[in-house]
A = this chain, B = another copy of it.
Amino acid sequence: MTDLRSTLATTGPIDLAAHPSDATPGFTGTKRDAKRLLPEIGARLMDLQELLFANGRAGTTDRKVLLLLQGMDTSGKGGTLRHVAGLVDPQGLAITAFKAPTDEEREHDFLWRIGRRLPEPGMIGVFDRSQYEDVLIGRVRELAPADEIEQRYEQINAFEREFTGGGGVLLKCFLHISPDDQRERLAERLEDPTKFWKYNPADLDERSLWPQYQQAYEIVLERCSTEYAPWHVVPAGRKWYRNWAIATMLGETLAELGLDWPAADFDVEEQKRRLATM
């Protein structure tokens, strides 16, 4: 049986324009079906996450999972956090939303701030934006010399190889939308006063560079989709599919860890006897 991760994983050169954003690979039902399935997937995620968390607390695992979300403005990184990350126990989650680097962060290598936010054993980390910003906006806006940008792809690969070599699992998701999807969503934000706070005039400046960003993403997907940390292209024009797909892949990732409940590191019967006397 193929899992969804292998269906959505990308290898080699990719032409994003040829990927419809409203596709629903691996899912045959309706929107209603997907919405109905989500709480079931959530219950399973909660159980699997508790197993990971328990092992982290017991010190019996070095495993940790990092869900990394990238995508254009309005692609639904926040919605994924709310609807997918929101399915699990917040105690076991470590969410980081990366913004423009601070002065302190700028004094270090671009991976410094990323390394500090990697999840601990037993935890599920979620990155809302990530190290890839430094080869996306970094490349499009020429925020560093071209040769420095070029070197970053391999630096990122080496960084991810180290993370996955140390018990980490990376689930990298590119939330793929079309320019029309974005226009529609930006327009919604401008029509609804409860959404003004999500809107930033600078979003249109970025939008004007759509082809450049798509190209920068294509380079990322080609150079940084590795065996140990593949990229997944998640069609995100339909929010219900995006949520279903990411929740499903997160479930596959957690299940594959194959963890068991940590054994007692104390004498259970002795403890029962002691408790009975108190």
Contacts and interface: CB of A to CB of B under 8 A. Distances in A.
A262 interface: yes
B275 A196 contact: no
Interface string A36-71: 000000000000000000110110000000000000
Contacts of A261: 193-194, 196-197
Q: Which of A78, A208, A264 has the most CB of B within 10 A?
A: A264
B89 A82 contact: yes
Contacts of A199: 264, 266, 271
- State how many copies of this chain the complex holds: 2
A82 B91 contact: yes
Q: Is the interface of A mostly helix, strand, loop or mixed?
A: helix
Given A57-B197, A196-B261, A199-B264, A272 B190 contact: yes
Given A91-B97, A197-B261, A262-B196, A183 B275 contact: yes
A38 B66 CA distance: 30
A156 interface: no
B278 A208 contact: yes
B86 A81 contact: no
A204 B266 contact: no
A278 B268 CA distance: 68
